[in-house]
A and B are shown apart, each in its own frame.
Chain A
């Protein structure tokens, strides 16, 4: 009724009508199935969407991974069991991609591992540092919060194009280097620099989002705890070590899980920035899946589906592991 009182005169009758209609329809239905089962009815639309757009494609992907050939429709594809997985894991030496039949798959895996380690570490460290600074009473705090969050609003393609412009041989960065007497460098052509910049750009683009989450976590820590630790004679480091970190840990785990999942799925930004190059140095597993399944003339959907299953299972294991560690940590 309080809601109705604040609605304008035009909206109020419409809402009343709607409520009446829903009530007329649902009340007999609720009587028939019982109030306990009404919950299922209300989540049904969401379950249907999940089933059609997530569960069904997953099952389809599973089937495709077990089939060969180049036809699109499942019924036209021969069942080959684990043949695609055999191809993916056919390696002389798992640490040497060149010895593997699907060498690009393994290059994608190694690149993804490196990228994830550096990018997720970078995001956690820099987001935490930024959040700690922004949580203090500094001048123009609101402005800085906006500045750090702004890149999150940009499309990954725009971010990549901006940084491509900065990093190209005749780009802004080399111009600055030359002003200070340095020599211009082909930043994206050197394999190690390319990986560094791919990580740097994605940290720059995403850290604002995680900073915001950590900032919320920091602000939920009761100030009384800091007052108490101050009375006990704790210095800043001890405040951080024994008050901030333990209480921030659940939020940190959220950040870690989200950053990890997003890092493993990274595609568009790198695709535009380096195309996966130089060579395949920054080609991650998702790009391998895309290239194998969609951008080749003879499209190997089965192999691509098998690779995406490997990726999905790895993500699942990592997430479960992190959740378990997170639970242990919060229990401790």
Chain B
């Protein structure tokens, strides 16, 4: 009995001393979401980092994308955030980011390679902070099912012209769908961000002379009217926008060859490579044109340090490792993401896929960077852009189901934006 008691005392002492022994171990947490395989790739890369830095342990907390949009802002506002996070509301959360400049060994590397995208993550007036890096640059644009066009005997419009209008794509997609009895000619992600590219191509300005966001122009109305009518006449997937709350995509319909033309973006390439492979010929085509250009929207996700972290130096060190050209190059190659890194853009990325369809698709998206309108960049850089996007998404949906006329919907979009911005002060 005395031996057992002695053992218990020793065990208790060891347990109480253990935290002190391991106090040099720093644990960092990353809040992360996945579009494809990027979580696995990140884990591999971090495993290598942990091997080289035994004093640091990095946990990836993978959450649904909606939790990044809805829960993370609340956690950050409450000071309960992680050490790092993968975010897409780049400017909207800027007040919570860690400026890593004092902790970085070579801040100039970040300016040189991520320069144009650092502003997306900065507060207005801030021209110097380095809060993180883009894990991917995304470009919105359409995918088509080329096999369906061939089976229907309909010419692919972009084979015949470099500048195809939205109306031409709509007519061709409907012709394919009717010939083959495909349920959905066209679909667009349920997202105001996705709608913004076509709207800018139609001439939408999105900002007035004072820099205040506005949708009260003919360009926006023109695309909105076209878009609403396409939902009413069955050109667009009739259920996706009206029967969803928040974001919705048509990945499943496209992968099942039930959809001819799908307006989405470059982040889908990895997923389509896995889901579709070469089961049919899927292809990215250049963004359709209008009087305002042939633009999609730039965007992307960034990994940022969070200001409330207790370990800013360690966070900066991990970020330096992940943002290095070699590591980021491997990340891009294995995830099939377009890197937002000047060095990698110059040297090119040898994407880790044998699928020619995926390589071609990525090539088209990279080529689209040069066709993006300045308005698209300005809108992406605008901190409250999600307020504009969400208002457009929700109010246009109401117009589709007849709750509002188109003009009422546009007036409500403007009102929603103005009210929210006024409340923000």
Q: Which residues of A contact B (CB under 8 A)?
A: 68-73, 98, 103, 107, 168-170, 186, 188-189, 191, 271, 274-281, 287, 291, 294-300
Contacts and interface: CB of A to CB of B under 8 A. Distances in A.
A275 B387 contact: no
B245 A300 contact: no
A279 B401 CA distance: 6
A277 B397 contact: yes
The 10 closest A-B pairs by CB, nearest first: A275-B245, A279-B401, A297-B386, A72-B77, A298-B420, A278-B242, A278-B401, A275-B244, A277-B243, A279-B403
Contact of A186 (B77, B239, B390, B408): B239
B78 to A, nearest CB: 6
Contacts of B390: 296-297
Given A169-B183, A298-B387, A277 B74 contact: no
Given A68-B423, A71-B77, A186-B238, A296 B401 contact: no
Interface string B74-103: 100110000000000100100000000000
A69 B425 contact: yes
A274 B384 contact: no
A279 B243 CA distance: 7
A68 B422 CA distance: 10
Contacts of B402: 191, 279
Given A298-B421, A298-B423, A169 B239 contact: yes
24 contacts: A69-B424, A103-B412, A188-B239, A188-B243, A189-B238, A189-B243, A271-B245, A274-B243, A275-B243, A275-B245, A276-B245, A277-B242, A277-B243, A277-B244, A277-B245, A277-B397, A278-B242, A278-B401, A279-B401, A280-B398, A281-B401, A287-B245, A296-B420, A297-B387
Contacts of B384: 297-298
A296 B403 contact: no
Contact of A295 (B69, B243, B248): B69
Nearest to A300: B423
B104 interface: no
A198 B75 CA distance: 33
B387 A72 contact: no
Contact of B401 (A72, A271, A277): A277
A189 B408 contact: no
Contacts of B412: 103
B292 to A, nearest CB: 25
Contacts of B400: 278-279
Given A69-B425, A275-B243, A275-B244, A296 B398 contact: no
Contacts of A278: 242-243, 400-401
A98 B239 contact: no
B398 A275 contact: no
Contacts of B248: 275
Given A287-B245, A295-B69, 4 more contacts: A107-B403, A279-B400, A291-B245, A300-B420
A298 B243 CA distance: 23
B408 to A, nearest CB: 7
Interface in B384-399: 384, 386-387, 390, 397-398
B73 interface: yes
A327 B66 CA distance: 47
A278 B423 CA distance: 29
A276 B387 CA distance: 19
Interface string B29-70: 000000000000000000000000000000000000000011
Contact of A98 (B69, B73, B183, B404): B404
Contacts of A170: 183
A83 to B, nearest CB: 10
Given A103-B412, A186-B238, A276-B245, A297 B92 contact: yes
A296 B423 CA distance: 13
Which of A68, A107, A280 gathers the greatest number of chain B CB atoms within 10 Å?
Answer: A280
A191 B183 CA distance: 21
Which of B245, B248, B400 gathers the greatest number of chain A CB atoms within 10 Å?
Answer: B245
Contacts of A168: 239
B242 A279 contact: yes
Contacts of B238: 186, 189
A68 B246 CA distance: 25
Contact of A191 (B70, B239, B401, B408): B401
A189 B236 CA distance: 14
Nearest to B248: A275
A70 B238 CA distance: 35
A278 B190 CA distance: 13
A69 B423 contact: yes
Contacts of A73: 77-78
Which of A73, A188, A299 gathers the greatest number of chain B CB atoms within 10 Å?
Answer: A299
